[in-house]
Amino acid sequence: MKSPIAPDAITHGPGSRDIELASNFRITIHRLVKLLRRQTRNDAQLSLTERSTLGLLYPDAQLAPSDIARTEKVTTQSMSQVINHLAELSYIEKTPSGEDKRKVLLSLTAAGKAYVEQIRQDKQEWLARAMQEKLTPAEKDTLAAALNILTKLIDE
């Protein structure tokens, strides 16, 4: 019985075309993400970790600071600074955990939700405008098809 994977694929891994495509893809996605980050009006006042923390709590999550620190791969001390800054801005609130009164859970305030929604809206509007100005209808169709393919890469 033949192996479903070609022998050269096992010994050599991805071909040079795949490597080049992966590199170009990674670079392009990185550039797009950087561009999207610059398209928001309110983004300058928060660090990347602070914005990510708000995103983790959006829209109605309640998380312990230690869980967010673990997800963000930062120390609990660093996360404390993030939490304090977000609380000073009234973007998050701390509530005692029902199980253990010594622990707190974090959640977004109305202002925090509005901030996240504004950032997301700014990014979507910029991207929609860029697609309208720069892409043909056929290119938009190709992009839509590519999104389905990209979903295959990230779905586990």
DSSP letter for each residue of 17-55: HHHHHHHHHHHHHHHHHHHHHHT-SSGGGS-HHHHHHHH
What residues contact residue 113 under an 8 Å CB cut-off, 6+ apart? 58, 59
What residues contact residue 78 under an 8 Å CB cut-off, 6+ apart? 49, 69
Alpha carbon distances (Å) from 151 to 66, 94, 116, 155, 156: 30, 35, 24, 6, 10
The per-residue pLDDT for 12 is 62
Query: pLDDT tens-digit profile of 119-148?
Result: 999 999 999 999 999 999 999 999 999 999
Contact between residue 50 and residue 86 where contact means Cβ atoms under 8 Å apart: yes
Query: pLDDT tens-digit profile of 89-98?
Result: 999 999 998 8
What are the boundaries of each domain within the chain? 39-154
6 SS3 class: coil
Mean pLDDT along residues 113-118: 95
Q: Which CATH number does 39-154 carry?
A: 1.10.10.10
The per-residue pLDDT for 37 is 84
